[in-house]
């Protein structure tokens, strides 16, 4: 077990590293491929830790790299204590954690407790033993409804399309019970009423904590407990992948007891190990329940990710986010992208890629000026857009294939990163012209890390500067609130105060430049705008869709 040996070079305002940490999500399949098989791997991540350190983040969250048939990009785990050979070995994970710690980077890994793979030994054995086997109590097996049990046990629809139930065949070849899978049929839901399930996951957490990880991102954290009796939904519709509706399989009160026990377990380990919930809830108050004292450390704020680019709406949402988390004494988290959603440079574009990129740059500076912890998704620091022209035959999102292409376009945000060079795979793999598991657009030569490094106008250098300023300026990240400023319609502005000084953040969300009085703004620290805003005659022109940080007096 290792612990970070180098404290991140960051001005600290409180002892809890995670309260204002910037955490970088690595999607391992698409980050860096060390062996040239077209798939990223742990050795690839390890070889790029220096890049992450230099970028200025505090920690990495690595999406699943466990043994998996990859029916859902690794979110179908067959062995929670082993690394899939595609990604390496547990020894590689150990070496990665050790190296990261030596660089002052913490490492968070995914835990996938709502479901496992249909190739998990528990599920295979439960199938083999047939209806009535006590091992089936670890899952949700039920007889079907209607004559011959031919209808699913209830009306739930999988989030990836089609029924949330699949019928099994008994060992004697006759049609048997059905099992529940909120996601793909290859992802049977575990039954968290089972003591064996609860014990197993506590043991899995310990396995990775003993190896030295600094925490966990909990997949579908709101899904573990289902309403008693698995009642019908009453409507026959496919909910969005990560819907926020009130349904009998999400956000049930019973999940909190599980997280209280996990918190106790995390506290047994030295060095502030943390857990962050992926919990899509109807309201921020419901999200806050996951981070009450004695529960998890953080929960993703998906309302921010989904918020339109509009000053008034953003202000309302940010204020509500801060208030909701403050009420339970937890930090807010902020995130703009992840491996499940359209990259924000494209989401914000509304048909105009240049506008999308301007807004993406501005949104990054807004996010990094807010109190709390920020999650970055690999490639956003390069301004990568969503890839929309991936041929159907290479797409791997299970929802795509289960919905005839109507859903499941998540491969578009998972295209392997461009690191260097002028031709694919752009340094993603070791061999020029070598494979990448998804095709990379030709335009990505200009977006590579190499191409952007040293160009002060690049998105990469903007992120580097922003993270550098954030590390050295405690007015950013720390605290629980902001002081709102009313400067002009369409301009979101707030002030952050700390012992080390004050900072003002201005965000022009309009498509036009806005002139404001410059008094009180102070010196410009950083701006997403090109050219940078200048003050003249006491006035400042804020460029369209831009954010600026000012060192206030
Ligand atoms: C949420 C994960 O982020 C997503 O990628 C996955 O498909 C589902 N949970 C199911 O595990």
Write the pLDDT tens digit of every residue in 73-103: 999 999 999 999 999 999 999 999 999 999 9
**103: its two tokens:** 């660089």
> 414 near 73, Cβ under 8 Å?
yes
Angle 276-279-285 from CA coordinates, rounded to 5°: 100
Residue 9 sits at φ, ψ, to 5 deg, of -75, 80
- In degrees, rounded to 5, the angle at the alpha carbon of residue 441 between the alpha carbons of residues 437 and 443 is 145
- pLDDT of res. 12: 45
Backbone angles phi, psi at 228, to 5 degrees: -55, 135
220 lines ligand 1 (CB under 6 A): yes
| Pocket test residue of 189, 340, 399 for ligand 1, highest count of atoms within 8 A of CB | 340
pLDDT at 441 over 80: yes
- CA-CA distance, 23 to 17, in Å (whole number)? 11
Q: From ligand 1's centre to the CA of 50, what distance in Å?
A: 28
Q: Which tokens hold the place of 540?
A: 């400042």
CA of 496 to the centre of ligand 1 (A): 35
Give buried/exposed letters for 248-271 (b at 16+ CB in 10 A, else e): bbbbbeebbebbeebbebbeebeb
Q: Looking at ligand 1, which residue's alpha carbon is closest to its atom 10?
A: 75
Residue 219 annotated as catalytic: yes
| Residue given tokens 């404001």 in the structure block | 516
Q: Is the CB of 183 under 6 A from ligand 1?
A: yes
Return the minimum-mean-pLDDT range out of 244-248, 269-273, 476-480, 494-498: 244-248
pTM above 0.85, yes or no: yes
Does 219 contact ligand 1 (Cβ within 6 A)?
A: yes
Query: Which of 115, 188, 219, 339 gets mutated to test ligand 1 (max ligand atoms within 8 A of its CB)?
Result: 219
Q: Is residue 5 scored above 50 in pLDDT?
A: no
- Quote the percentage of the chain above a pLDDT of 90: 84
Find the 219 Cα to ligand 1 centroid distance in Å. Answer: 6
Which residue's alpha carbon is nearest to atom 11 within ligand 1? 75
pLDDT band of residue 8 (cuts 50, 70, 90) is very low
Q: Which of 32, 10, 40, 31 is nearest to 22 (CA)?
A: 10
Does the Cβ of 75 fall within 6 Å of ligand 1? yes
Atom of ligand 1 nearest to the CA of 76: 11
- d(Cα 530, Cα 424) in Å, to the nearest integer? 29
Atom of ligand 1 nearest to the CA of 242: 1
Q: How far apart are CA 533 and CA 167, in angstroms?
A: 63
Per-chain mean pLDDT for the chain:
93
Answer whether 503 contacts ligand 1 (Cβ < 6 A): no
Separation between Cα atoms, residue 447 and residue 453, nearest integer Å: 10
Q: How confident is the model at residue 532 (pLDDT cuts 50, 70, 90)?
A: confident
Helix (H, G, I), strand (E, B) or coil at 244: coil
Q: Which two tokens stand for residue 522?
A: 């102070």
- Asked if residue 39 has pLDDT above 90, the reply is yes
Q: Tell me: the pLDDT tens digits for 50-68?
A: 999 999 999 999 999 999 9
- 329-345: pLDDT as tens digits: 999 999 999 999 999 99
Residue in 172, 268, 392, 486 annotated catalytic: 268
Catalytic pick among 219, 244, 251, 278: 219
Rounded distance between C-alpha atoms, residue 205 and residue 296, angstroms: 14
């Amino acid at each position: 077990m290792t612990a970070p040996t180098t404290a991140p070079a960051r001005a600290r305002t409180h002892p809890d590293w995670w309260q204002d940490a910037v955490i970088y999500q690595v999607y391992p399949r698409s980050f860096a491929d060390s062996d040239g098989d077209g798939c990223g791997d742990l050795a690839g991540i390890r070889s790029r830790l220096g890049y992450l350190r230099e970028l200025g983040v505090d920690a990495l969250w690595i999406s699943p790299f466990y043994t998996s048939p990859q029916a859902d990009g690794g979110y179908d785990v067959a062995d929670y204590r082993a690394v899939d050979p595609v990604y390496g070995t547990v020894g590689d994970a150990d070496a990665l954690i050790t190296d990261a710690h030596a660089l002052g980077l913490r490492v968070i890994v995914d835990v996938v407790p709502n479901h496992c793979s249909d190739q998990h030994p528990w599920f295979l054995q439960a199938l083999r033993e047939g209806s009535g086997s006590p091992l089936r109590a670890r899952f949700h097996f039920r007889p079907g409804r209607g004559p011959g049990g031919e209808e699913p046990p209830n009306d739930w629809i999988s989030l990836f399309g089609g029924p949330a139930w699949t019928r099994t065949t008994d060992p004697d070849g006759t049609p048997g019970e059905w099992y529940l899978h909120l996601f793909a049929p290859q992802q049977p839901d575990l039954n968290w009423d089972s003591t064996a399930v609860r014990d197993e996951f506590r043991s899995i957490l310990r396995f990775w904590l003993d190896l030295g990880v600094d925490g966990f991102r909990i997949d579908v954290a709101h899904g573990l407990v289902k309403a008693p009796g698995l009642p019908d939904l009453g409507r026959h519709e496919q909910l969005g992948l990560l819907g926020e509706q009130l349904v009998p399989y999400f956000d049930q009160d019973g999940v909190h007891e599980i997280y209280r026990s996990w918190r106790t377990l995390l506290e047994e380990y030295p060095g502030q190990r943390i857990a962050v919930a992926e919990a899509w809830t109807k309201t921020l108050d419901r999200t806050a329940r996951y981070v009450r004292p004695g529960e998890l450390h953080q929960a993703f704020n998906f309302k921010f990710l989904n918020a339109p680019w509009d000053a008034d709406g953003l202000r309302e949402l940010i204020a509500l986010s801060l208030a909701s988390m403050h009420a339970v004494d937890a930090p807010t988290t902020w995130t703009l992208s992840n491996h499940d959603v359209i990259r924000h440079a494209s989401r914000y574009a509304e048909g105009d890629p240049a506008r999308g990129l301007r807004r993406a740059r501005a949104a990054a500076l807004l996010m990094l000026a807010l109190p709390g912890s920020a999650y970055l998704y690999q490639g956003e620091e390069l301004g990568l857009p969503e890839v929309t022209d991936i041929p159907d035959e290479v797409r791997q999102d299970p929802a795509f294939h289960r919905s005839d292409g109507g859903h499941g376009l998540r491969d578009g945000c998972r295209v392997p990163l461009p690191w260097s060079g002028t031709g694919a795979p752009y340094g993603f793999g070791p061999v020029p012209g070598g494979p990448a598991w998804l095709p990379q657009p030709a335009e990505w030569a200009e977006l590579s890390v190499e191409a952007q490094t040293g160009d002060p106008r690049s998105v990469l250098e903007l992120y580097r500067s922003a993270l550098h300023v954030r590390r050295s300026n405690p007015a950013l990240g720390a605290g629980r609130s902001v002081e709102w400023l009313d400067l002009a319609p369409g301009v979101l502005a707030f002030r952050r105060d700390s012992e080390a000084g004050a900072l003002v953040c201005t965000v022009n969300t309009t498509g036009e430049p806005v002139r404001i009085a410059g008094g009180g703004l102070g010196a410009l620290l950083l701006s997403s705008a090109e050219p940078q805003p200048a003050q003249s005659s006491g006035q400042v022109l804020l460029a369209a869709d831009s954010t600026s940080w000012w060192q206030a007096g």
